[in-house]
Amino acid sequence: MALMTGKEYIASIESLDLEANVLGQRTGELPNHPLVQPSLRAVAVTYDCAHDDACRALFRAFSPLVGDEVNRFTHLYQSADDLVNKVLMQRHCGNLTGCCFQRCVGMDALNALDSVTCEMDEASGTGYHDRFRRYLQYVQEGDLVADGAMTDPKGDRRLSPSQQADPDLYVRIVDRRPDGIVVRGAKLHQTGALNAHEIIVMPTRALSEQDQDYAVAFAVPADAPGIVMIYGRQPSDTRKLEGGQIDVGNRQFGGHEAVIILDDVFVPWERVFMAGEHAFSGLLVERFAGYHRQSYGGCKVGVGDVLIGAAQALARYQGTERASHIKDKIVEMIHLNETLYACGIACSAEGQPTPSGTYLIDLLLANVCKLNVTRFPYEIARLAQDVAGGLMVTMPSEKDMAHPEVGAYLEKYLRSVERYTTEDRCRMLRLVENLTLGPGAAAYLTESMHGAGSPQAQRIMLARLADLEEKVRFAQKLAGVRDQGPDG
Amino acid sequence: MALMTGKEYIASIESLDLEANVLGQRTGELPNHPLVQPSLRAVAVTYDCAHDDACRALFRAFSPLVGDEVNRFTHLYQSADDLVNKVLMQRHCGNLTGCCFQRCVGMDALNALDSVTCEMDEASGTGYHDRFRRYLQYVQEGDLVADGAMTDPKGDRRLSPSQQADPDLYVRIVDRRPDGIVVRGAKLHQTGALNAHEIIVMPTRALSEQDQDYAVAFAVPADAPGIVMIYGRQPSDTRKLEGGQIDVGNRQFGGHEAVIILDDVFVPWERVFMAGEHAFSGLLVERFAGYHRQSYGGCKVGVGDVLIGAAQALARYQGTERASHIKDKIVEMIHLNETLYACGIACSAEGQPTPSGTYLIDLLLANVCKLNVTRFPYEIARLAQDVAGGLMVTMPSEKDMAHPEVGAYLEKYLRSVERYTTEDRCRMLRLVENLTLGPGAAAYLTESMHGAGSPQAQRIMLARLADLEEKVRFAQKLAGVRDQGPDG
Amino acid sequence: MALMTGKEYIASIESLDLEANVLGQRTGELPNHPLVQPSLRAVAVTYDCAHDDACRALFRAFSPLVGDEVNRFTHLYQSADDLVNKVLMQRHCGNLTGCCFQRCVGMDALNALDSVTCEMDEASGTGYHDRFRRYLQYVQEGDLVADGAMTDPKGDRRLSPSQQADPDLYVRIVDRRPDGIVVRGAKLHQTGALNAHEIIVMPTRALSEQDQDYAVAFAVPADAPGIVMIYGRQPSDTRKLEGGQIDVGNRQFGGHEAVIILDDVFVPWERVFMAGEHAFSGLLVERFAGYHRQSYGGCKVGVGDVLIGAAQALARYQGTERASHIKDKIVEMIHLNETLYACGIACSAEGQPTPSGTYLIDLLLANVCKLNVTRFPYEIARLAQDVAGGLMVTMPSEKDMAHPEVGAYLEKYLRSVERYTTEDRCRMLRLVENLTLGPGAAAYLTESMHGAGSPQAQRIMLARLADLEEKVRFAQKLAGVRDQGPDG
Amino acid sequence: MALMTGKEYIASIESLDLEANVLGQRTGELPNHPLVQPSLRAVAVTYDCAHDDACRALFRAFSPLVGDEVNRFTHLYQSADDLVNKVLMQRHCGNLTGCCFQRCVGMDALNALDSVTCEMDEASGTGYHDRFRRYLQYVQEGDLVADGAMTDPKGDRRLSPSQQADPDLYVRIVDRRPDGIVVRGAKLHQTGALNAHEIIVMPTRALSEQDQDYAVAFAVPADAPGIVMIYGRQPSDTRKLEGGQIDVGNRQFGGHEAVIILDDVFVPWERVFMAGEHAFSGLLVERFAGYHRQSYGGCKVGVGDVLIGAAQALARYQGTERASHIKDKIVEMIHLNETLYACGIACSAEGQPTPSGTYLIDLLLANVCKLNVTRFPYEIARLAQDVAGGLMVTMPSEKDMAHPEVGAYLEKYLRSVERYTTEDRCRMLRLVENLTLGPGAAAYLTESMHGAGSPQAQRIMLARLADLEEKVRFAQKLAGVRDQGPDG
């Protein structure tokens, strides 16, 4: 089975009939639009790595389902080692792109659906698992990118889906037909949506019986009728349209998010993986979120490496590399970044098989991982700004640098250590700006906060998963106190 | 004496002959350029407040020098109360503008020069102090904005000014004439430079004898021949050019920085306040930096109030206002912000008169203030992003919201608590984006880090100003250890 | 009016008839008991300082009430300067004693009662204020120590006073007689109780009408019938009984807490300052707590100075004083300690008069002060342990050091920098142990956490005192959003 | 091969002839002394667990060396799983003992010596490895406890071993004989020394040629002639001698440290594992420290569980269990504790074989683990004190509680939630006191700081092990900057 190269992947996305679906004042923001291209190139890296001798082994895995090697981004985790390799692969992609490479969310959705459909079938006699496996075979054979779409708009946070003033504020089944279902609603924050072949929709929260129409999971092609994508904007996004190379910070790569509207989209039954089984909605959310919280222990660490490298490079260019306080800050950045990595590795290494055979990370540790991700990248970014210096936000534009008269002034006065050029220094400053205040920060900071669930979601999981009663018993035994159980 | 209104101030700036001086690909970025206007409007607030009944008393002070009320931004601090009122005035301006209002740096430069010229004269028999007072009278009577220009490019951080490959990397005297001096060099990070009537140049570090040509302080009009200003860019700055109201985050106000080049500028002696007295260079830096580190305990706190208010508003709009974890985060933001304020107040209340009669803040506490400012705004910003939610960086543009078809989708799906409009929610999200990732973050975060000196500069001052030997003696006495003095 | 010396004070306490009141297995723990003496000596410092030329001006204040100078610890704050001087005085005492010197709680109780009785009288026509002022005159003239007793046992935290299974878990009036009231209950955590001439009892929380018997404030002599004091134990407290000088860490000074039982104590009306006015209970708590939260910005800072000095001394003795990471940790300790001080100064400098004329600190900033005190001393202690090294907890006892054979080994092997003796090093290590793990830590850490109210109490105050609606309006104005007021 | 039970172990220690070796004023502090017994019982748990059905599999491992199961505490790690199991075993022991169980340091020393002797032999043709393996066989067959002794007194930290005023401040070879060597010096901070059968001595730092006499590693029986042990004291240690059950906090278990003097101890060659190979001294330190930094990701986490359980129990007893801020603090404690665990697991799961076949943890992650251990336990302890309340340090002694009159008062007034007894509450408070301010804190806090190397040691390793140049290259590639290599 031939795995696609990045170039083939880009061609495959460009061949989608997205024009009708991608709407807005900023129409034309299709894959070949300069705003979108960097994010498409970032996804392409996940393809090219499977052909790069230095890392192809890491990016490929043998899939029993198709009896052949697949790109690991479409793979079901068969072992704890597979889970660990996922993290290594993600860190590597972060290192190469310095941004979100957008393909994890689909991988995590596929793995979550695999085990949940299996357990749903066991409990309810439904036939979702076989159906899902056939769909997965299609994804693996096509080496496709899937967008994993979970987050609903949610409206008033105090109200359940069916209590909302507008019943469409969570995706729901509006019609059940012999050949499939019709769904309506929207999914927000859809990372890389315009770069995906497929969209996999899942519910966003645990649901009770009165919300059973909201318990729906399915896959649709990205260019299915009724799908509307509205491109999101990021800090400093339009620098990509200025035609320069420096101010954009990260010349080649970037990410994007979109709002996806499902305007009465028809989904044939063979692509439906949950339709009313509200009791399994929470489990699916927990599994998907768990996998995705693990992911951040890889991808954000990879981006962190880039930011540490940029800070170190600037210290070198500016003559502060040997100052003890600078060295100390670099060490602190490393320490925080590797702590995130340790969490990613630990929840993977402690992974266990689910009934479907697919491995699940240790959920407690995956939540610990993500909760740290909501904190440490912010501190790493703060330290990077400390090391980089204020010029990052006061420096004139690259057009000024290219201007004959003004450029000469800047060349003269922004020069630092003789060995390095003024331009190199400015380029590196713009990379730090990109990652801490620009489009890169949308992914490295804000997405670290809210992606895969906001910090409070992780805290709730920690409260639930930590065996507090056991800890109380340990303490009572040592204190010589009789156990009376929890207060009733 | 009539104090200017904001409108009169803007007219006065527009009447400057800056065209020849503001250069670059982005020429025309004069006061009336849409990139510059918001920052001009922010300065204008410092004028209008002196005419607003609600706060005029705070913005005016009696100046013995001119025998009349002046705008407090041109005032010499006559008492500890004056120092406290400065902080209150700055917090108020931060509240009204949500950005850097740019007029403090000149105020702090004037106060620092006042005491240092006096002490220089006492020590060296020079006549700088009277000369400076005459200049100050001119500033007070004209109700002028002065840019306080301290930070040199510095080149290779390991080398002193005269050791640099290019001797111009610190501003220096290149010629001494009967009628004045000629100076060459540049000043980076010049906040509000295009909005100033005057530029006050000071050295950037303590200097030894071989660097005495670098010990130079003076004032020049902003439109003096040889002055070149190159406008700096900020994150998402070009949103100001898009013609919208929402995506820009802060509709009315903003700040800017510029590189100022001094290309052999002539300064007549009556505007020269230091010319070779290298032994006083460090003192001037310490005084100016001290005042400016105090300032951040006012202005950044004022901006912090806005960010806290924005987070609280979003919690309200989104239905999470009563969630205990949200309330707790808001309280934490308040706590951190008020800690900064406490530091600003404390270093002011403990202020003492200098030989010139002008009051100086407690330098130790002013450095403590600023060191906290290099930390807490980052944490406040992180918490604001937590409360605000990820939509801030994934939301489509306001052009999409205005589009008939797309806008309807967004209106429907981005609606949260019924009582509040979708547009209001989006506006508030953009304000948080502005302050944590946009042009506001350049001031609220990066400038908090590096403005008035990077954190290591404050740490060096703390090590110097804290009486460690006294603390050792206290400990020795309690431990019953004979004092042997510091290890030789 | 002659202010007492420390020696006279100790004699006055020893003359109290406490024997019947101080009970327990550890009877005899009267002032002259070696467990209690160090704490008595610490209080005596507050007397001696009023006779020490170096600081007598700080420790004395003119009291209009008695028309003479009084010890500032019995003074009503007449100005913001008085409030600032209180903090300076407390820092000085902390510097001299390295522990809690126990006299602040009474000072804060007196000041709180002064304004609240005045406002109660104004609102309710009661006559408490004059009565209180007469009592205060007695305290000032006698130069007495008062214990301010607020914290009730509280039983089940979920239940109000009258809902408790045992109605005595909050102090209450059990009988009202023509000549006075009879009270029953207990007060926990009574710092310095055995060293006080007087005990001033106040309610511990805001109360509603059904709890009006709990709204009671009064003063009784420490040796009044029915008062029982039970001495609390502290970490490593019995080292004081070992007869050594080194292992005790702080040779001279210490603190103590006691449980005070009020076993149907009679209080004549002239010493009753609240008896049923439940509506003013919350105000009294808020005022007292506010003053006491300010106090910690002085006393704990003074102890912090000692700990910083001890760490610095150890770095010197051990040869690490010049290591950059050690210097950096010392600077960090200074920074945190001075931030606490800044908060103490700021809430004082912003003080305002109450209707009684007595000045009240800025309550918001006083709560900010205390909330920082629940954090920074722990970090300072952690850093002190880092600098000190592990020997602090692994070092043999001083008896081993005095043993001929063993002592020789220790003298040889625990020697560090030649210039300093092994014994000096060990003494200093024990001081750090005292302050971070020993009896000093009970005051420097645990009391910093819970004294004057636990952190959540401060957070509730911050939520109440910060004008959140104003901040929301600032944000709305800048975002261009119409104000709709808080969500109903 | 029969593994010992705890009882057999205790008997085996009691049969050692230690009397002559354990010296000091506090002679008789032999295993059966009440000060020492709790620590002996803690070690015994490591034996009993190997016979407990619930965990015997975890505590046993097959040793190829002896061809039988051994106690895992004497085992060479044969795989990454073995490394993970070590951490699980340590967490379990921490759960059961709530203290340091003292047997890890020998385990880590054995594993470090195994690989280093192998690599030394390969490089230098020495024969240490076989010799070491024979010794290890003796340890495994005897199921012995070994003390791993690394930390020298170090004297003046600025001077190398041979530069010290006293050449004995680092352990050194003072004589080389045909049958062995004679060593002199001391090792500080020897955890559990009095409970060990064997003492394994290693150098404490990297050494250069002039310090080659200090490059010495060997094993001696604990009762060898010339060995002197001086028992260290801990906070509140003498509560163990008071005969009570409550105030001691942890009734059964504890730890201890001792100074070990090597007063010209003879070591036969078959027990010498390094004698002059200074080039391998640093490697041995790095390996041993690495293993021991991993260990803290298990044992301290286990103790952390106890402290979390104690805080939760107290919240329950006191009626605050459901308060949102209390729940949030408990979650934070869990989060920090599990982050440490994640680091312990991650460095284990990433373990790799050394040339000897024995597995080594990932050194970078092990250092990250330990650096977090120098921080998080302090914050967990702070939060535990917050949840527990101040009564922990103000509560009277258990003798008071047992006193007829006083006890009745305390029983009445310290009662909280009806369902739980006053005594249970007090017992639990004492456990928290033990772990945060008492003898348990010596291990849980100070040892977390300095054990296995102080934080700066880990930072130096991070700077060395993180591939900073690779990170710079990633950043340069993304910024479009040509790589010039590190500044020369």
B299 an active-site residue?
A: yes
User: Distance between CA A268 and CA B90 in Å, rounded?
Assistant: 63
- The neighbour count for residue C326, using CB atoms within 10 Å, is 22
User: Distance between CA C255 and CA C193 in Å, rounded?
Assistant: 10
Question: Residue B306 is nearest to which of C342, C417, C478, comparing CB atoms?
Answer: C478
A447 an active-site residue?
A: yes
Residue-wise over A219-234: b if at least 16 C-beta within 10 A, else e?
A: bbebbbebbbbbbbbb
The pLDDT value given to residue A23: 54
Strands C227-231 and C257-268: antiparallel
- Average pLDDT over all residues of chain A: 95
* C435 Cβ under 8 Å from any chain B Cβ: no
**Do C241 and D397 contact (CB within 8 A), yes or no?**
no
Residue range A87-91: mean pLDDT, rounded: 98
Q: Name chain C's partners: 3 or more CB pairs within 8 A.
A: A, B, D
CB contact under 8 A, B325 and D324: yes
**Do C284 and C274 contact (CB within 8 A), yes or no?**
yes
Q: Which residue of C has its CA nearest to D445?
A: C382
Closest to C276 (Cα-Cα) out of C183, C205, C214, C203: C214
The share of chain D scoring above pLDDT 70, in percent, equals: 97
Which residue among the candidates B49, B93, B299, B347 is catalytic per the annotation?
Answer: B299
Q: Which residue of A has its CA nearest to D371?
A: A335
Residue-wise over A323-354: b if at least 16 C-beta within 10 A, else e?
A: bebbbbbbbbbbbbbbbbbbbbbbbbbbbeeb
Q: Which residues of C touch B348 (CB under 8 A)?
A: 349
Q: Which of residues 325-354 of A touch C (CB under 8 A)?
A: 325, 328
Strands B22-23 and B227-231: parallel
User: Distance between CA D32 and CA D38 in Å, rounded?
Assistant: 10
Angle at B15 between CA B11 and CA B21, to 5 degrees: 130
**Do C217 and C274 contact (CB within 8 A), yes or no?**
yes
A321 an active-site residue?
A: no
Which residue among the candidates B49, B93, B100, B343 is catalytic per the annotation?
Answer: B100
Q: Which residues of B touch C484 (CB under 8 A)?
A: 419-420
Closest to B72 (Cα-Cα) out of B101, B97, B38, B99: B101
Report which residue type is found at C308.
I
Residue range C255-280: mean pLDDT, rounded: 97
Written as six digits, the tokens of C110 are: 């007196």
Written as six digits, the tokens of D353 are: 């074989």
The pLDDT value given to residue D22: 64
Does the pLDDT of residue A80 top 90, yes or no?
A: yes
Question: Residue A396 is nearest to which of B153, B259, B390, comparing CB atoms?
Answer: B259
User: Distance between CA B260 and CA B298 in Å, rounded?
Assistant: 26
Residues 6+ apart with CB under 8 A from C236: C249, C433, C434, C437, C438, C439, D235, D236, D237
Shortest distance, CA D163 to any CA of chain B (angstroms): 19
Interface A-B: count of C-beta contacts within 8 A: 262
- Quick: pLDDT tens for B199-229: 999 999 999 999 999 999 999 999 999 999 9
B100 an active-site residue?
A: yes
Which residue pairs from B132-141 have beta carbons closer than 8 angstroms and sit at least 24 positions apart in sequence? B132/B273, B133/B65, B134/B270, B135/B219, B135/B270, B135/B271, B135/B273, B136/B65, B136/B74, B136/B76, B136/B110, B137/B65, B137/B66, B139/B74, B139/B110, B139/B198, B140/B63, B140/B65, B140/B66, B140/B70, B140/B74, B140/B75, B141/B1, B141/B66
Q: Which residue of B has its CA nearest to A433?
A: B235
Report which residue type is found at C55.
C
Does the pLDDT of residue C221 top 70, yes or no?
A: yes
User: Distance between CA A102 and CA A141 in Å, rounded?
Assistant: 20
Catalytically active residues of D are 100, 104, 191, 257, 292, 296, 299, 447
The pLDDT value given to residue D456: 97
Q: Which residue of D has its CA nearest to A320?
A: D487
Question: Residue D25 is nearest to which of C259, C261, C403, comparing CB atoms?
Answer: C403
Q: Name chain D's partners: 3 or more CB pairs within 8 A.
A: A, B, C
Q: Which helix (H) or strand (E) holds B459?
A: helix B455-465
Partners of residue C184 on adjacent β-strands: C172
Looking at B116-160, which runs of residues are DSSP E strands? 146-149
Closest to A310 (Cα-Cα) out of A413, A435, A414, A395: A435
Percent of chain C as helix, strand, coil, to the nearest 5: 55, 15, 30
User: Distance between CA B118 and CA B239 in Å, rounded?
Assistant: 47
pLDDT in 10s for each residue of chain B, 488 residues: 789 999 999 999 988 876 656 655 444 556 678 889 999 999 999 999 999 999 999 999 999 999 999 999 999 999 999 999 999 999 999 999 999 999 999 999 999 999 999 999 999 999 999 999 999 999 999 999 999 999 999 999 999 999 999 999 999 999 999 999 999 999 999 999 999 999 999 999 999 999 999 999 999 999 999 999 999 999 999 999 999 999 999 999 999 999 999 999 999 999 999 999 999 999 999 999 999 999 999 999 999 999 999 999 999 999 999 999 999 999 999 999 999 999 999 999 999 999 999 999 999 999 999 999 999 999 999 999 999 999 999 999 999 998 888 999 999 999 999 999 999 999 999 999 999 999 999 999 999 999 999 999 999 999 999 999 999 999 999 999 998 877 65
Least confident of A173-177, B83-87, C1-5, D438-442: C1-5
Closest to B92 (Cα-Cα) out of B148, B145, B42, B146: B42
Question: Residue A378 is nearest to which of B158, B382, B400, comparing CB atoms?
Answer: B382
Which pLDDT band, with edges at 50, 70 and 90, does A367 fall under? very high
Shortest distance, CA B316 to any CA of chain D (angstroms): 20
Q: Which residue of C has its CA nearest to A323?
A: C324
Question: Residue C238 is nearest to which of D189, D238, D396, comparing CB atoms?
Answer: D238
What's D194's DSSP letter? G
DSSP B35-71: TTHHHHHHHHHHHHGGG-TTTHHHHEEEETTTTEEEE
The distance of Cα A412 from the centroid of its chain, to the nearest Å, equals 42
DSSP C440-452: HHIIIIIHHHHTT
Report which residue type is found at B449.
M
User: Distance between CA D437 and CA C39 in Å, rounded?
Assistant: 20
The pLDDT value given to residue A405: 87
Q: Name chain A's partners: 3 or more CB pairs within 8 A.
A: B, C, D
Helix (H, G, I), strand (E, B), or coil: what is residue A347? helix
For testing the chain A interface, which of B233, B378, B383 should be mutated: the one with the most A CBs within 10 Å? B233
Report helix angle D281-318 to D422-436, nearest 10. Answer: 160
pTM above 0.95, yes or no: yes
Does the pLDDT of residue D488 top 60, yes or no?
A: no
Shortest distance, CA D459 to any CA of chain A (angstroms): 6
- The neighbour count for residue A14, using CB atoms within 10 Å, is 12
Phi, psi of B25, deg, nearest 5 = -55, -35
A170 an active-site residue?
A: no
Residues 6+ apart with CB under 8 A from A402: B25
Q: Which residue of C has its CA nearest to B349?
A: C349
Q: Which of residues 308-327 of B touch C (CB under 8 A)?
A: 308-310, 312-313, 316, 321, 327
The pLDDT value given to residue A25: 44
The distance of Cα B472 from the centroid of its chain, to the nearest Å, equals 37
- The neighbour count for residue A81, using CB atoms within 10 Å, is 15
What's A222's DSSP letter? T
Residue-wise over D128-149: b if at least 16 C-beta within 10 A, else e?
A: bbebbbebbeebbbebbbbbbb
Q: Name chain B's partners: 3 or more CB pairs within 8 A.
A: A, C, D
Question: Residue D476 is nearest to which of A313, A347, A466, comparing CB atoms?
Answer: A313
Shortest distance, CA B88 to any CA of chain A (angstroms): 26
C2 burial level (CB within 10 Å; 0-12, 13-18, 19+): exposed
Closest to D233 (Cα-Cα) out of D36, D5, D4, D10: D36
Q: Which residue of C has its CA nearest to B472?
A: C309
User: Distance between CA D43 and CA D102 in Å, rounded?
Assistant: 6
CB contact under 8 A, B416 and A189: no
User: Distance between CA C12 and CA D265 in Å, rounded?
Assistant: 61
The answer to whether the complex's ipTM is over 0.90 is: yes
The pLDDT value given to residue D235: 96
Which pLDDT band, with edges at 50, 70 and 90, does D26 fall under? very low
Report chain A's terminal Cα–Cα distance, integer Å.
59
Q: Which of residues 61-120 of B touch A (CB under 8 A)?
A: none
Helix (H, G, I), strand (E, B), or coil: what is residue A264? strand
User: Distance between CA D312 and CA A479 in Å, rounded?
Assistant: 13
Q: For chain D, how long is the longest CA-to-CA vector?
A: 83
Helix (H, G, I), strand (E, B), or coil: what is residue D481? coil
- Quick: pLDDT tens for B34-47: 889 999 999 999 99
User: Distance between CA B459 and CA B466 in Å, rounded?
Assistant: 10
Question: Residue C390 is nearest to which of D261, D400, D450, comparing CB atoms?
Answer: D450
Which residue among the candidates C49, C99, C118, C299 is catalytic per the annotation?
Answer: C299
User: Distance between CA A134 and CA A273 in Å, rounded?
Assistant: 11
The pLDDT value given to residue C19: 64
Q: Which residue of C has its CA nearest to D446?
A: C390
- Quick: pLDDT tens for C275-326: 999 999 999 999 999 999 999 999 999 999 999 999 999 999 999 999 999 9
**Do B212 and B167 contact (CB within 8 A), yes or no?**
no
Q: Which residues of C touch A325 (CB under 8 A)?
A: 324, 328
For testing the chain D interface, which of B322, B325, B330 should be mutated: the one with the most D CBs within 10 Å? B325
Shortest distance, CA D345 to any CA of chain A (angstroms): 5
Which residue among the candidates A99, A104, A118, A343 is catalytic per the annotation?
Answer: A104
Residues 6+ apart with CB under 8 A from D464: none
B426 an active-site residue?
A: no
C191 an active-site residue?
A: yes
C433 an active-site residue?
A: no
Does the pLDDT of residue C25 top 90, yes or no?
A: no
